[in-house]
Amino acid sequence: MLRSIVNIPCGIRVATSPILNINKFARFTRYNSTKPDDPLASLTSDTAKATPSFAIDALLNRSIEKSDIFSAGYRSKFESSMEQTPRDIAKSIREFTMSSGRSVDVRYGNVSKGIGSVGKLMKDNRVFIIARRQQRHIRPALLRKLKRREWWRSKFASDFHTLMQKINNAKRRGY
């Protein structure tokens, strides 16, 4: 199975890098932090608090830079297939669209199906309709009127569909 992580403007992140069968020279090594401002250091001490508090800056400072993992000779060979560190991901997030923050499962690197899933998710949650409604102020009385109209249209559509099913069943039985 492949792990996915690429930045696409529609809100999904996909990139393929194999998890299993990694070459023994390309294995990733986790280096433990020895910095004094380590937020997890209090967990290992005897005088640890019951509820530790984490600062995001301290957690990002603990993350490994790409230069620490590979020497200059190997960096050019593995740069494109290497997973991003939390620091790089936090620096690169600059999405403020309606689809940002929404995630779907992408299987076997099928990006087009993932983009379609995000669109379907947004359509099901009526994101575009709500965003259009919030673009300008609507008077409360007009808003009530629009909501009532929308409710009636959806109720009529569902009732009409049910009636047509009953008519078709009656025709099929010979009435």
CA distance 144 to 138: 10
Q: What is the pLDDT of residues 57-105, one digit of tens each?
A: 776 676 666 555 555 555 555 555 567 776 777 677 776 778 777 888 8
Query: pLDDT grade, residue 26 (50/70/90)?
Result: very low
Beta carbons within 10 angstroms of residue 160's beta carbon:
10
Closest CA to 6 of 64, 66, 89: 89
CA distance 78 to 94: 25
CA distance 146 to 99: 25
pTM of the model: 0.36
- pLDDT at position 151: 96
CA distance 169 to 71: 73
Query: pLDDT grade, residue 51 (50/70/90)?
Result: very low
Helix residue ranges per DSSP H, the chain: 41-44, 56-62, 66-69, 72-78, 86-92, 111-124, 127-133, 140-173
- pLDDT at position 105: 85
- pLDDT at position 170: 96
Q: What is the pLDDT of residues 106-157, one digit of tens each?
A: 888 888 998 999 999 999 998 988 888 888 898 999 999 999 999 999 999 9
Is the separation of the CB atoms in 32 and 68 below 8 Å?
Answer: no
